[in-house]
Chains A and B, each alone.
Chain A
Amino acid sequence: MNLFTIPLKNLRRKLLRTAMLTLVFSAGIISVVGLYYVSATVGESLEQKLTAYGANILIRPHSENLDVSYGGFSMGNMSYNVHKLDMDTVHDGVMSIGYKDRISAIAPKLLESSSVNGKEFAVVGINWIEELKIKSYWYIDTADHEPHGQEPESLPETAEMVVDGLEHGSEFGKYDIIAGNTAAKLLGLEKGRETEIEGKTFNVAGVLAPMGTDEDRLVFMDITALQELKNKPGEVTFVEVSALCSGCPIDDIVAQIKLSLPDIDVTAMQSVVKQRMFTVNFVKNLVLVISGVILVIACFMLAVFMMASVAERKSEIGILRSMGYSRAKIFCLFSFESLVIGASSGLAGFAAGYFTAVKILEKMELTDGAAVHFEPAHLLLSVGIVCVVSIAASVIPALKAARTEPASAIIRL
């Protein structure tokens, strides 16, 4: 038994009232915690979806560029000392960084000029699965086909199964090609037909819808197939990397890749990053503001309750003061009462809020690609904040209690 026995006994005797207040206070915390977790998870999932609209890091071989012109006649951009980029080196380099969990796609590309149907044309070798992760805006008019160049037994039976069970891109095989819209017209490529590239037969698996980008004029094929055709095993022209950057600046990721891949150009595509972060941050800031408002309301509610409690227990305060309890002790009594309500609301609210968030995310199927992470630090932080808020709420009532004049507080006739 000590000073805190008094507020604890009081709270216990008025259990219903304490429970009601805790419940209301918890409701506020449930909304804050729930909102936070839903938004963090949706934000992460949103970021992953946004990743599909382009990569944000570019890895190129180091080269010295020179704009060559003579007599007013431009000879274009000439690159000297182009170091060749090796696919496995880049992949291993990127996957060895500290932030490797943040890397969502590593899409290598080999750019070559090849004879397609007898015409010299720009052909891009890509990794189907990695490429389609960052090219979700591609609309491919696909032919009903079986992937060429894969083991038949490992193939999906129907197109639906491809979508459901396998990663996007696995429906394309080594000897499949996809033609850009303009390229298809120029070369007379049609989906489902065959064509010859460098003397080898390929299947036109699909044609891209016109997009108005460079991609319209390109032919895409499997990178290993192109490497074999051109006899450039493992070689890539450049690599696009997509990183999720919530909670860590893209510059850090770039710096880490640079460290593990010296002599290679690594650049962040800032505009892509900024746009992406803006969307995610907007959601987070909105939640922050709403949480702040809820906490302020909860704070006022607790303050009003404590104020009423002080008025009601004026006589008790007087009697305690008559026993020699100092003003500071009276202040502590009421602050502590508020703190107990705050701390229990904080704990209960966090647990319920977390649970609610998980349920909401499950129900709304918002979690694809992201999961709710429970972190003990969050629990400590939120309970800590709630404790501070509840003490702040009780400052004025507790001061009023401490300043109560004992002689006039004690009821007498």
Chain B
Amino acid sequence: MLKVDNIYKSYVGSGVVTQVLNGVSLEVNRGEFVCLLGRSGSGKSTLLNIMSSLLDADKGDIIYMEQTFRGMKRCETDRFRREEAAMIFQFHHLMPYMTAFENVMLPFLSGLRPAGKEQKTSAYEALAKVGLAGKEKRLPSQLSGGEQQRVAIARAIVGKPAILFADEPTGSLDKANGDAVMKILSDLNKEGLTVVMVTHQRDYAAYAHKVVELSDGNVDSIKVKSA
């Protein structure tokens, strides 16, 4: 479904060039739960950003369903993120001035056409799926850290994406909340959502079908769990 082909990436900052990725290749199959594992600074986030089209690679290519990112117009990558992919991050990044429901509606608000009844129903369903039914009208500040992250997950899945990119989704949560989030992601994956998750917590790699270990910008190992 998504192919990472020999990706190179370096950052240039104040004259210093930091080589982050040195020819990373891997493959994500439809319906798979892939975990990118590695120490902090090993380039996991950078790789995930490139895979989700938020960042351009220096060299190499990403191929999503036969389509290559290289040379894609900005409006096409925008469309990819709008219609095919969704993202969650370590921090929930909810709009503090919008309620849980309104935050979940965000993916539908990128146009001038008012969101329809159907989309509102989807938002309620998504919130119910992450166990937040009844808390739709709360502002992010009125929710716990775990609940905030679950709103972010609801926001990610409301548009029924094909692939979910998660960058340390449990990174700022305690064990109980982290476990709950992992359970939700695992359930979503079982319903057919392809998940690519970055983490440095080895325990959570257990949920994945495929664990890709990165170190210093190289793929250390790829372990595939036999079903």
CB within 8 Å of B: which residues of A? 1-6, 9-10, 12-14, 315-316, 318-327, 329, 406-407, 410-413
Q: Mark B48-86, 1 if CB is under 8 A from A, else 0.
A: 010010110000000000000000001100111111001
> Contacts A9-B98, A14-B97: A325 and B171 contacting too (C-beta < 8 A)?
no
CA distance in complex: A2, B120 (Å): 12
Decide if B81 touches A322 in the complex (CB within 8 Å). Answer: yes
Q: Is B6 engaged at the interface, CB distance under 8 Å to the other chain? A: no
For the complex, give the distance between the alpha carbons of A320 and B90 in Å: 16
B15 within 8 A of A: no
- Which 5 pairs show the lowest CB-CB distances between chains A and B? A324-B82, A13-B97, A324-B81, A407-B55, A319-B93
Q: Are A413 and B171 in contact (CB under 8 A)?
A: yes
Most buried by A among B54, B87, B112: B54
Which chain A residues border B109 with CB–CB below 8 Å? 1-3, 5-6
Count CB-based A-B contacts (< 8 Å).
94
Say yes or no: A316 contacts B93, CB within 8 Å: yes
Beyond known contacts A2-B109, A2-B112, A321-B54: 15 more, CB 8 A cutoff: A1-B108, A2-B111, A2-B114, A5-B102, A9-B95, A9-B97, A10-B95, A13-B97, A14-B97, A315-B93, A323-B81, A324-B79, A329-B111, A411-B91, A412-B45
Per-position contact with A for B138-157: 1 when CB-CB < 8 Å, else 0?
00000000000000000100
With CB as the reference atom, state the residue of chain A lying closest to B120: A1
Q: Are B113 and A2 in contact (CB under 8 A)?
A: yes
Compute how far the CA of A321 lies from the CA of B49 in the bound complex, rounded to whole angstroms: 12
- When chains A and B are docked, how far (Å) is the Cα of A40 from the Cα of B122? 58
Interface presence of B18 (CB below 8 A): no
Residue in contact with A412 in the complex, picked from B86, B89, B111, CB distance below 8 Å: B89
Q: Which of A2, A14, A326, A411 contacts B74 (CB 8 A)?
A: A326
Instruction: Flag B170-197 by CB within 8 Å of A: 1 or 0 each.
Output: 0100000000000000000000000000
Report Cα–Cα, A321/B40, bound state, in Å.
25
Q: Does B105 contact A (CB under 8 A)?
A: yes
Sample of 23 A–B contacts (CB below 8 Å): A2-B111, A3-B109, A3-B110, A6-B95, A6-B106, A14-B97, A318-B93, A320-B110, A321-B54, A321-B78, A323-B82, A323-B110, A324-B81, A324-B82, A324-B83, A324-B110, A325-B78, A326-B110, A406-B54, A407-B55, A410-B89, A412-B91, A413-B90
Q: Which residues of B contact A410 (CB under 8 A)?
A: 89, 93
- Say whether B167 faces chain A, with CB atoms less than 8 Å apart: yes
Contacts of A4 in B (CB 8 A): 112
A2 near B115 with CB under 8 A, answer yes
In this complex, how many residues of chain B approach chain A with their Cβ under 8 Å: the count is: 40
Cα distance A326–B93 in the bound complex, in angstroms: 18
Cβ of B168 within 8 Å of any chain A Cβ, yes or no, is yes
Report chain B residues within 8 Å CB of A9: 95, 97-98, 102
Residue with the greatest number of chain A CB neighbours at <10 A, chosen from B95, B105, B108 = B95
Residues of chain B within 8 A of A318, CB atoms compared: 93
- Docked Cα-Cα span, A411 to B92, in Å, equals 10
Report how far A323 CA is from B105 CA in the complex, Å.
11
User: Which residue of B is nearest A330, CB measured?
Assistant: B110
Given the complex of chains A and B, what is the CA–CA distance between A13 and B74 in angstroms? Answer: 32
Give the chain B neighbours of A12 by CB distance below 8 A. 97
**Docked pose: A406 CA to B91 CA in angstroms:** 15
Within the complex, what minimum Cβ distance (angstroms) separates B214 from chain A? Answer: 16
Q: Does B96 contact A (CB under 8 A)?
A: yes
- For A316, list chain B residues within 8 Å (CB): 93, 95
Q: B171 — which chain A residues lie within 8 A by C-beta?
A: 413
Q: Does B217 contact A (CB under 8 A)?
A: no
CA distance A410 to B95 in the complex (A): 13
| Residue of A6, A13, A321 ringed by the most chain B CB atoms within 10 A | A6
Most buried by B among A9, A315, A324, A325: A324
B43 at the binding interface (Cβ < 8 Å): no
Of A321, A323, A329, the most chain B CB neighbours within 10 A belong to: A323
> Which of chain A's residues has its CB closest to B54's CB?
A407
A3 and B55 CA atoms in complex are apart in Å by 25
Say if the beta carbon of B107 comes within 8 Å of chain A: yes
Q: Which residues of A contact B111 (CB under 8 A)?
A: 2-3, 329
